[in-house]
A and B are shown apart, each in its own frame.
Chain A
Amino acid sequence: MDKEIVFRTEDLTKVYDTGEVKVYALAGVDLDLFAGELTVLLGPSGSGKSTLLNILGGLDHATSGKVWFHDRELTQLRDRGLTQFRRDHVGFVFQFYNLVPSLTARENVQLVTDVARDPMRPEEALERVGLAHRIDHFPAELSGGEQQRVAIARAVAKRPEILLCDEPTGALDSATGTQVLEVLRGVNDELGTSTVVITHNAEIRKMAHRVLYFQDGKLSRVETNEHRLSPAEIVW
């Protein structure tokens, strides 16, 4: 394959030392993620998906092993470097939306555009997720799906190179979940943002370019979809 590699990991290991026992959240992971691809991570609870995503996104440090972002070795970066990396390149979407309750939809997006290098206008980002009409609402006045779309707008507003989503539909019903997935797919198609989605819903894998399976802190299997389904075609 001649696709450009965004992320590459080598023997990536994360150990949580809780005193009595050592938990190997990641036990030596080697993988590549490609530019413009939508990747789905699947695996049982506790298999290390979130841990991987956090390390890729520069939210957490690995215990050992290496991670490259293009030709930059992330595992060499200290706190300050990781902050800069997140600010410039990464968009996050979390299971529980994590909107700031005291800020409106627009202001939540503005949190990102205030510090990004080349952001969209917050209105544009919200329009993209179909929420132009709810722009001045506070999170408490929005439904779960709407909140998650605000979170996605916030993540894409800076035009990130990569979008990392940890169970973005985990708290949503299927219809709302579908809406959210469509937004993610749209971003991936139209902006070419490399996207990683963690999910417990195996059906969602059908919309991915590639699917990575996790088991006990290890990458157990990689699957490439010849034929991708659109979110609307996925049956929950």
Chain B
Amino acid sequence: MDALDIKLWRDFKRLWAQSLAIALVMAAGVAVLLMSFGMSKALDETRDTYYERNRFADVFVDARSVPMSMLATIQTLEGVAAAEARVTTHATLDIDGKSRATVVYVNSLPETGVPLLNVPILRRGTLPDPNASDQVALNEPFAKANDLWPGDRLAINLNGTKREVTVTGWLLSPEFIYTIGPGSLIPDDEDYGILWMPERALAAVLDRTGAFDNLTLKLRPGFDPKPVIEELDRLLEPYGSWGAIDRTEQVSNAFIDGEINQLKTLAYILPPVFLGITVFLVNMVMGRIVTLERTEIGLLKALGYTNLDVCLHYLFLSGLVAAVGVVIGWAAGSWLSFGLAKLYANFFKFPYLIYNVSWNTYIVSGLLGFAAATFGAIRSAMAAARLSPATAMSPPAPPRFKRSWIDRALAAVRVSQPTMMILRSLIRWPIRAAMSILGMALAVSILVSSNFFPDSLDVIIDSAFRQSNRQHAVLFFNDLMPESALEEARRLPGVLQAEGQQYLTAVFRKDHYEKRVVVEARRPGNDLSRVVDTNGQPIDAPTDGVMLSRRLAAQLHVGVGDTVEAEFRGTRHGTFELPVTALITQYFGLGAYLDQGMADRMFQQSSQTSIVNVTLDPAFDEAFQERLKELPKLGGSAMMIENREGFQETISQNILITTTIYVILGVLITVGVAYNGARIQLSERARELASLRILGFTRAEVGFILVGEIMLLALLAQPLGWWLGWAIAKLMAESFTSDLYAIPLVLKPATFSQASLVVLGAALVSVLIVRRQLDRLNLVSVMKTRE
């Protein structure tokens, strides 16, 4: 090994603590980048492959009992490559040994046996025989959760008749990567499943022979779905179609999109922060090293080493730090990716294990780590290369402290000498002080912006469950039901209250803005499912217009007093000019509300109901569930209490994990900044501090100078950190907001104080470690060394 390389290696070993503190900050950036970028890419690519191989459709539409002849018409539409018609419905299962009624989405398998589009993958057993009337297949996660194996039998309530069927196999489908039951907030494999049944048998029970309910289309490559969708809507409107959708609105696909977007947001926000701080830390430390090694640099040049040799020598030093950071970052990132993949497996059902992060991501994240270190070191390395050998070997002039107005001001208030030293140093290196403040402020902001999430969720849960949805269960029907259904519901065992609600679909337009919405027709004074404003006040739907959620109003660019054109589709159709008479803040969905009486007058029809909300006497739970399994017309049911518990449990687990990760990240940054800052202080001031000790200052007094400066910076960082945290939280809340939900920005004082405590604590521990080195300082040797 060359002598210069030996020096490099020994310097690196000597600086291990500082190097490690920097490397860990860099590692955090590399790890998060690897995880978020790698996983979003993996998710994206896997999904694409799966969609491609299994012919995931481009356009989806639901209607009711459309004659088969329509299929031929649709197949000839321009741009349509393939179309597949299915019979679909929701049904309730009665599974042996399970008290609760279980909801499944039923869809038909074609006569040919294997679907043309959305081709399911057979995971176990066989597909049902197209001619059999008592064979079904289940989606794998549901079958596993309910322990239903090929050969097992279960009862299904189809169109009011209960029949026994045999499970033939387990399937996975690109259409149902993410499944979420009606009324649920998170996937629940046990209580919501997908069931495939041969078309002939299903059509016979549902009276759909020669007709279909659902159509999926594959378009020619590159063909815009919009004109196809418009044509489909026109053709299927008479059959109660709620409107065709493209992939972006397909539920399973939309949730994966949402996840990919969140990962990308993470990839764009966090790694730049960590790599930026790495640049600053490397810059600060390398600057100090080059200053300390002036004479050695001069010597190397005198010996005939070139500018390039010297420059590279220091770049290699930063490169070693980067190597450690990148390796740790890769390890941590791989581990995080693995954990995340396991978490995803709970929600997203892909047929193959695709969660291996590609080599590209490793290479890119590694290169970025090295780039950050090089960028941080380049200024000092170039300065070292430029040092003239003659001047490098003469001692540097002591830094010039100028007496400024600040000094006079300080003198006037008579601060102690150590305090004066702290303040002067801040004024002498304002950029370094400012960067240290910024670094620690970013640590605070990361803690604030990650910690706001649980509080926001509390608000959401409170709003969604305690304020808005106070029913114990929701009953869904496959068709609109007459008012008498309410009476029937009231007669079910254990039902205390029952209230109906009607859903209508419409396209709202204002100028060139357009949005497909589900409109809720509400009866005044409804007590179970309420619309609640931010003050917790229940609000009735207006009788003279429509009430919109604020996010919907924003998307349509309308306010109170404007009118929207509402084109209703489905069984209740017609186009109306509706005045917007109220706006409301909501966290879930893009709500629009009409008064039931007003809706009835608009469509000149009597009230009907889509769902019934009920409250229950728990004593009758079993009897209630038993009856549900028998009810004809029931599409499904959702138990809201279990919903909420499942939601809270899943969320609080995830929050514990993420909060822990963010605390670690915040501490890493703080330690990186505070420890390195203090080490550099000590190195620059060793003589000064030793002189003070010789003059009779106590250890505590001298230590105060060291601890005081860093802690002063840490304190100054707090307000900035709070503000940054607020801004990042706001940005995150906005970027996570989609048509499905909105995240309210809830920042409690405790969030700020906890963030500050963590950062101030980590900073204090870091400087105290350095202070111990100060205590061990050998006064004589410090004074004897030449600098």
Which A residues fall within an 8 A CB radius of B? 54, 57, 59-60, 79-80, 83-84, 86-88, 90, 92, 94, 96, 98, 100, 102-103, 107-108, 110-112, 114-116, 154
How many Å from the CB of A161 to the closest CB on chain B? Answer: 13
* Residues on the B chain within 8 Å of A102, using CB: 6-7, 10-11, 14
In this complex, what residue of B is CB-closest to A94? B393
Cβ of B3 and Cβ of A83 under 8 Å apart? no
Cβ of A96 and Cβ of B786 under 8 Å apart? yes
Given A87-B303, A87-B304: A60 and B4 interface contact (C-beta under 8 Å): no
How many Å from the CB of A196 to the closest CB on chain B? Answer: 14
How many Å from the CB of B5 to the closest CB on chain A? Answer: 9
In this complex, what residue of A is CB-closest to B295? A98
Given A103-B7, A110-B3: A80 and B306 interface contact (C-beta under 8 Å): yes
Residue from A57, A59, A60, A154 with most neighbouring chain B CB atoms (10 Å): A59
The answer, yes or no, to whether B301 is at the interface (CB within 8 Å) is yes
The answer, yes or no, to whether B305 is at the interface (CB within 8 Å) is yes
A100–B10 Cα distance when bound, in Å, is 11
A140–B303 Cα distance when bound, in Å, is 21
Interface majority SS on B: helix, strand, loop or mixed?
helix
Cβ of A111 and Cβ of B4 under 8 Å apart? yes
B279-308, CB < 8 A from A: 295-296, 298-307
A80–B14 Cα distance when bound, in Å, is 32
Contact of A115 among B299, B305, B307 (CB under 8 A): B305
In this complex, what residue of B is CB-closest to A122? B3
A86–B298 Cα distance when bound, in Å, is 12
* Residues on the A chain within 8 Å of B6, using CB: 102-103, 107
A102–B11 Cα distance when bound, in Å, is 7
Cβ of B306 and Cβ of A98 under 8 Å apart? no
* Residues on the A chain within 8 Å of B581, using CB: none
Cβ of B11 and Cβ of A57 under 8 Å apart? no
In this complex, what residue of A is CB-closest to B5? A114
A96–B785 Cα distance when bound, in Å, is 11
Cβ of B303 and Cβ of A60 under 8 Å apart? no
Given A54-B390, A98-B295, A110-B3: A103 and B304 interface contact (C-beta under 8 Å): no
Contact of B3 among A79, A94, A111 (CB under 8 A): A111
In this complex, what residue of B is CB-closest to A87? B304
- A-B CB contact pairs (8 Å), 17 listed: A57-B302, A59-B302, A59-B388, A83-B305, A83-B306, A83-B307, A86-B302, A92-B303, A98-B296, A102-B14, A103-B3, A103-B6, A103-B7, A107-B3, A108-B3, A111-B3, A154-B303
* Residues on the B chain within 8 Å of A111, using CB: 3-4, 300, 303
Cβ of B10 and Cβ of A83 under 8 Å apart? no
In this complex, what residue of A is CB-closest to B386? A79
The answer, yes or no, to whether B645 is at the interface (CB within 8 Å) is no
In this complex, what residue of A is CB-closest to B306? A83
The answer, yes or no, to whether B389 is at the interface (CB within 8 Å) is yes
Given A98-B295, A102-B10: A114 and B2 interface contact (C-beta under 8 Å): yes
B297-321, CB < 8 A from A: 298-307
Cβ of B304 and Cβ of A79 under 8 Å apart? no
Cβ of A115 and Cβ of B7 under 8 Å apart? no
Q: Per-residue 0/1 for B378-397: is the Cβ within 8 Å of any A Cβ (1 yes, 0 no)?
A: 00000000001110010000
* Residues on the A chain within 8 Å of B393, using CB: 94, 98
A54-B390, A107-B7, A115-B304 provided; 13 other pairs, C-beta below 8 A?
A59-B390, A83-B307, A86-B304, A87-B303, A94-B299, A98-B295, A100-B7, A102-B7, A102-B10, A103-B6, A111-B4, A111-B300, A116-B304
Q: Per-residue 0/1 for B24-53: is the Cβ within 8 Å of any A Cβ (1 yes, 0 no)?
A: 000000000000000000000000000000
Contact of A59 among B10, B296, B305, B389 (CB under 8 A): B389
A3–B214 Cα distance when bound, in Å, is 108
A116–B2 Cα distance when bound, in Å, is 12
Cβ of B10 and Cβ of A115 under 8 Å apart? no
* Residues on the B chain within 8 Å of A80, using CB: 306
Given A88-B304, A100-B296, A103-B10: A60 and B3 interface contact (C-beta under 8 Å): no
Range of interface residues on B (Cβ < 8 Å): 20 to 34
Cβ of B3 and Cβ of A98 under 8 Å apart? no
How many Å from the CB of B154 to the closest CB on chain A? Answer: 76
In this complex, what residue of A is CB-closest to B309? A115
A112–B2 Cα distance when bound, in Å, is 10
How many Å from the CB of B537 to the closest CB on chain A? Answer: 73
In this complex, what residue of B is CB-closest to A116? B304
How many Å from the CB of A56 to the closest CB on chain B? Answer: 11
How many Å from the CB of A150 to the closest CB on chain B? Answer: 13
* Residues on the A chain within 8 Å of B11, using CB: 102
* Residues on the B chain within 8 Å of A115, using CB: 303-305
In this complex, what residue of A is CB-closest to B388? A60
Cβ of B296 and Cβ of A83 under 8 Å apart? no
Given A98-B299, A98-B393: A83 and B304 interface contact (C-beta under 8 Å): yes
* Residues on the A chain within 8 Å of B295, using CB: 96, 98
Q: Per-residue 0/1 for B124-163: is the Cβ within 8 Å of any A Cβ (1 yes, 0 no)?
A: 0000000000000000000000000000000000000000
How many Å from the CB of A181 to the closest CB on chain B? Answer: 21
A225–B631 Cα distance when bound, in Å, is 125
Residue from A83, A88, A96 with most neighbouring chain B CB atoms (10 Å): A83
Residue from B295, B298, B393 with most neighbouring chain A CB atoms (10 Å): B393
* Residues on the B chain within 8 Å of A96, using CB: 295, 786
In this complex, what residue of B is CB-closest to A98? B299
A54–B304 Cα distance when bound, in Å, is 14
Residue from B2, B4, B14, B303 with most neighbouring chain A CB atoms (10 Å): B303
How many Å from the CB of A93 to the closest CB on chain B? Answer: 10
A79–B301 Cα distance when bound, in Å, is 10
* Residues on the B chain within 8 Å of A103, using CB: 3, 6-7, 10
User: Which 4 pairs, one residue from A and one from B, show the smallest C-beta to C-beta distance?
Assistant: A87-B304, A110-B3, A60-B390, A102-B10
A85–B569 Cα distance when bound, in Å, is 89
How many Å from the CB of B742 to the closest CB on chain A? Answer: 59
A92–B307 Cα distance when bound, in Å, is 18
A111–B4 Cα distance when bound, in Å, is 6
* Residues on the A chain within 8 Å of B389, using CB: 59-60
In this complex, what residue of B is CB-closest to A107? B3
A117–B393 Cα distance when bound, in Å, is 25
How many Å from the CB of A211 to the closest CB on chain B? Answer: 24
In this complex, what residue of A is CB-closest to B303? A112
A111–B300 Cα distance when bound, in Å, is 8
How many Å from the CB of A140 to the closest CB on chain B? Answer: 10
A108–B299 Cα distance when bound, in Å, is 11
* Residues on the A chain within 8 Å of B4, using CB: 111, 114
How many Å from the CB of A49 to the closest CB on chain B? Answer: 13
How many Å from the CB of A175 to the closest CB on chain B? Answer: 21
* Residues on the A chain within 8 Å of B301, using CB: 59, 83, 86
Given A59-B390, A108-B3: A92 and B302 interface contact (C-beta under 8 Å): yes
How many Å from the CB of B290 to the closest CB on chain A? Answer: 14
* Residues on the A chain within 8 Å of B296, using CB: 98, 100
Cβ of B307 and Cβ of A79 under 8 Å apart? yes
* Residues on the B chain within 8 Å of A114, using CB: 2-4
* Residues on the B chain within 8 Å of A86, using CB: 301-304
How many Å from the CB of B308 to the closest CB on chain A? Answer: 10
* Residues on the B chain within 8 Å of A88, using CB: 304
A7–B393 Cα distance when bound, in Å, is 23
